[in-house]
Each structure stands twice: as C-alpha cells, then as structure tokens.
Amino acid sequence: MGCKIWNFVSRISYPASRIQYPVSRIPYLCKMSYKNQQHFIDTIEKAGELIRIKTFVDPKLEMAEITDRISKTKGGGKALLFENTGYDFPVLMNAYGSERRMCLALGVKKLDDIARDIEGLFKLLASPKESIIDKLKVLPKLSQFASWMPRVKNGRGECQEVVMENPDITKLPVITCWPKDGGPFVTLPIIHTKDPNTNTRNVGMYRMQVFGPTLTGMHWHKHKVSAKHFNEYKKLGKKMPVAVALGGDPVYAYSATAPLPENVDEYMLAGFLRKKRVELVKCLTQPEVEVPTDADFIIEGYVDPADELIWEGPFGDHTGYYSLPDWYPRFHITAITHKKNAVYPATIVGIPPQEDAWLGKATERIFLAPIKMTMVPEIVDMDMPVEGVFHNLVIAKINKEYAGQGQKVMNAMWGAGQMMFNKILVLSSGGKFPLTDYLKLTQEVFNNMNPATDIYFSQGPMDVLDHSCSKLGFGGKMCIDGTLKTEEESDDSYYFLPPDYEFDPGGLLEKFAEIRSVNDQLIAREIPCLIISVEKNRLGHIRELHRQVCESGLVEGIKLILYVEHTVNAKDLAVALWRFCNNLDPRRDSHLVQLPAKHQPAKTWACMGLDGTIKTKAFDNFQRDWPNIIVADNTTIEAVDKKWKELGIGAFIPSPSLKYKDQLYGEEAVSAL
C-alpha cells in the first residue's frame, strides 16, 4: 500500500481542515492492549467513533468512494463498518482515520505520550550507573523489556478457528479502490517474512493485487527488508515462505508501517506500545513463519524466486497519483484461515487527507524521541504535513547554537533511515511559538531565509512512488534553512524589501498571457512568496518565464515563486501545495535569478523559482510516463449519491473527486500529455 512517513503554508488559511483534534476530549486509556480487532471495534463504537452501515455497499469502488467522502471531513470522520458486503464478512474502514481513534488504538491520551515514554526509557538506560541503587533502578525496566518480547505458543490460535477447505482469496471482500486500479487490492496486509540465514523476522505492509483465487502480487520495493529477504532466498534457490495477517490488535498494522531499523522486531515495538507481549502461532502450511494468534485472517503462501515476475498495477497511491504498473513477485496462496465472526480490515489512499495521514502523524510523534536522542540532538520538534504525503515535506525546529548547524541537521536527517526519502526539508530555530503555528513559522522562515544562500540542493535515493524524478527512485532534494543566521552565515551584499511590501497581481496577469492565476495571500501575511499557475507551451518555459517575471520589476519584494500547472487554482493553497510538492524535483526544477536591487542598486536581490508543473517530453525533455491524479468515476459517484440517505451516515457529502475532475489529463492512469 505504501503507507509511509507527512504544506505548512496551506494551514495558514485552512487551519480547521487540517489534522487537529482537541485532545482534552480524548479519554485517557492506561496503555491498554486489545484482545483482538473486535475488542477495538467495540471500544471505538462505545466512544461514538464508529458507524455501522447495513445497506449493501459494493467492495468494488463504492466502499472507497464513501470512505473518501467521510475521511475528508473535519477531524477525519468516523470509522465505517460495512455489514452488507455481498460476502460472508463485514469490512472495517477508516479505523485509524482520526487523532482520537489513533490514540485509542495505541492506548494513550496524546500521541506525544509515547514519545515521552521512549525518551524516558532512553535516558534511564543511558544515564551513568555509579551506585548500586542506580543499577537497581534499571532492573524493573529490564524486566519490562522481557515482557514485551513476542512469544510463540503451541497449538492453534484464534486466527485458525476456521480453515478454508480450498483457499480462495476471491471469497474475501477485497476492495477495488479507484477506477483505473489494476484490480482489487489487499490494502492493510501485515506481511511476515524471515531472513533465511539469520531467521530474523520482518513485519511490513505492502499492497497485494489479487490476480486469482490463489495468486496475488507482492509489491515490495527494492529498499524494503522483505525484498532483501527475497534476494537471499533467490541466492539459495529456495521458495520463500510468507504469511499475511489481517486484523487483530490495531497496533499490529501500525507497527508494520513504522520505520524501524532492520534488526528491530516490529512485534517488540507492538509489545512496547500495548505494554503486553504479542502471542504468535505457527502457520499451518508455512510453519517457518509465525503470526499473531488474535488476527482475523491469515493468508499463507510462498514466493518462488524462479517464477517470472507479474505485471502489477496501476494503483491509486498515497501521493494522490496512480503508481504505474511494474514487475513484481508472485505470491502463491497455500492456505487461508480465519477466526469465527472475522471482520475484513481495509483502507484507501489517495488525494490527502486520508486515513494514512493519521498513521503518519503517529510515526511523526513516536519517532521524534529516537531521532532526537540518537542522531539529531538539537532537534526540538518535527512536523510532516499531510499535503506533503509523508516523504515530500518535513519541517523541523532546532535549537541552533553555531554557524552551519542547519546544514549539519540537514545531512543527519537525510541519512536517517526512511528520512532518506525526504524531498523538501524546512528548518526553523523558532522562538517560543509551537511548530504548528504555521503563520508565525512561515513568517520566521522567510524572514531568515536568503534564497541565494540559504537553499541547499542535493540528490539521492527517493521513494519509488515519486513520479517527478527523472530516474526511478533517484532524484533531487532541497533544504530551506530558515534558522536565525549567525554573523558567519550572513551576507550583507543582498537587499530585500521589508515584509509589509505591497504587491498587485494584476500586473503579472496583464503582462504574461500564460499566467492563469496568482495567489498573493501569503504576501498579505508578510510572507514574500507567490504561487503562480502557468500553461506551459515550449521547452524551458518556466525557466524563461521566471527570469522575465523577475526582470519585469513587479516582484522585487518576493523571495520565492512556486509555479504550478494551469489546471490548478493557485488560490487554493492546500491543493496547489499538494500538487507542487509531488511534481517538483528540487535540484532539476530550481531557477535562481539575481539582479541589482531596485531600491538599493549597490546590492543584489535574489528570487528562487521552483517548477512544480507537470513534466513532459516536449516541454521538459522528461522521458518517463507521468501519472494522473486519482478521482472516482462518474458512475460510482452517482451510485453513492443515490444510496446516501440509506447509509445512515449523516448529511449528504458530495464527492471530493468533483473538485479535481478538471485537473485530469485524459481518463487513464497515465496522463495523456
């Protein structure tokens, strides 16, 4: 599925629609663990966080359309239990889709509570132990460590109460999310593999396209641990046993998405989070692999390295774009077991915000402490905004004490595990205001930032779902150092107009016919940044246009101009920044213009232009296919509109896809450019 680690400027105008929830209304749960998924369903229903839908809803497209409407409401909406699916099993969706439910899933009052627990644990274990009393204080914690370790039980588990006589995954209500998806996909699979040499377990989450009763794809990218396990089996010429769990304690699915080091068992993290060990049982046909005893479904099978790969995809992914088809391993199913009264869990990803944003928010808060204590001690706080779709945009506040510290943090962050996929890093050394005060944050960053000296570019590994890279999985990165500059870092040869600069967008619209709209809302908030939508019509158009705009004398107070596609309304900050972040390769698409300052001719004014438009072969010499954004088809939208009153889920919500229809290029997963 690709749930990973998350436009800060957009929240200045749209604070109510972002990821916010009054934590004072969240009941405190004392680190509870759940007996199984049904226990979690009962808990969120009692908390008023679940809606049961008794009307028939088709797992093909309709469930996803309803969930998309609900998950984009304020706060993430409610969890949905579809009870009439046309199959033997109900379907649970949007279970993690709010801060409140994420806290309920992890048994905490606030997500930051977990970070504090981890920080306290690190400090206790790392502190000097000079006396016998100091050493004795650690013993209870070491005992707790042991109590979190997963344990394999003898016999069968709850997940094996029912054994499907002839395994057939098409008998499960596997959903089809979007109209151009390659087929139905298992979207919340907890996938278990082992290293054949060390027997080390890995638990990950990778989407599975259903091709037949006993055949799916296994969509693990080359940087994933399971892919490394696969390569080891390939060297040995052996089939690779694999087991897939669905359901169980909700902490399992979260742990499968967590960016842990390779040698850390995900069920150790699950045990720490639930304050109770995970109990496992051996699979029936793949006994080398153990699975949680309380899971709702177990799908057992193998991947044969000798098999030909299968053409998998497209799939409407968490970026809001289709990930295009490619070759992936085949997963052969040898058994399907389930508990009595099992519930099939599923999720959708697409144009943000979606349910995965809350999983990402948990990761942001939980892993702040380890990053702070082991790699970047000067980090104060971190934010991964939803429009940045996890890897595209990260904001960090640091405690700055010396020149060059921003670059030090930049290099450390880009070398830290999954953070290697980060595309845009924004650094702040902000005052006493919280990082989530986006107005103050952006004012501070732009006040401290010189576009000629404080924007750094690099290149390296990128998420393979990043379609903006000229080469798959390899592209540019950018760090905007908005920290307060020391004397050593300052360059007084530059001059910028004061922040109360007045700007008239009409001049640009009159002078440049290709400019369709100009967003100057940020300037009114003393943030010298423009967003401009442009209709490109020639090779090198944005580079040429940016120089002409700078030379026009109309934008001397501006430090940064973000260019987006002409189909995008530049005045819609949230959408414009989501599209911009996805379509930008910072190193390739940056254009710095430096000119004599109009008001101080002896000094220089600089303006950085960043090209977040669609890239094509004709206008950009771009050689890869460019994916379309994800929208529902009209037939599905109309079907859901007609049955809305029967669903019992409140006032009518129009399809979010209607907002994006005019941004499509053609109707297929690949843009018709």
SS3 content of the chain, % helix, strand, coil (to 5): 30, 20, 45
Give Cα separations from 471 to 57, 74, 475, 586 (angstroms). Answer: 41, 37, 7, 14
Residue 317 among the catalytic residues: yes
Per annotation, catalytic residue among 181, 317, 356, 589: 317
> What are the helix (H) ranges across 429-563?
438-448, 506-511, 541-551
Distance linking the first and last C-alpha atoms of the chain = 27
- DSSP letter, residue 352: S
Q: For residue 548, give the 3-state DSSP assignment.
A: helix
Give Cα separations from 324 to 92, 179, 316, 580, 627 (angstroms). Answer: 27, 14, 9, 20, 7
Burial of 181 (0-12, 13-18, 19+ CB in 10 A): buried
- The one-letter amino acid code at 252 reads Y
Backbone angles phi, psi at 549, to 5 degrees: -60, -45
Look-up of token digits 């044969």: 304
Name residue 299's beta-bridge partners. Answer: 244, 336
Strands (DSSP E) contained in 535-617 are 560-565, 590-596, 604-612
Give Cα separations from 322 to 157, 418, 653 (angstroms). Answer: 38, 22, 24
132-148 vs 266-274: helix crossing angle, rounded to 10: 110
Burial of 605 (0-12, 13-18, 19+ CB in 10 A): buried
Q: What angle do CA 661, 662, 667 make, to 5 degrees?
A: 60
Q: Tell me the Cα Rg of the chain.
A: 26
Residue numbers annotated as active site: 317
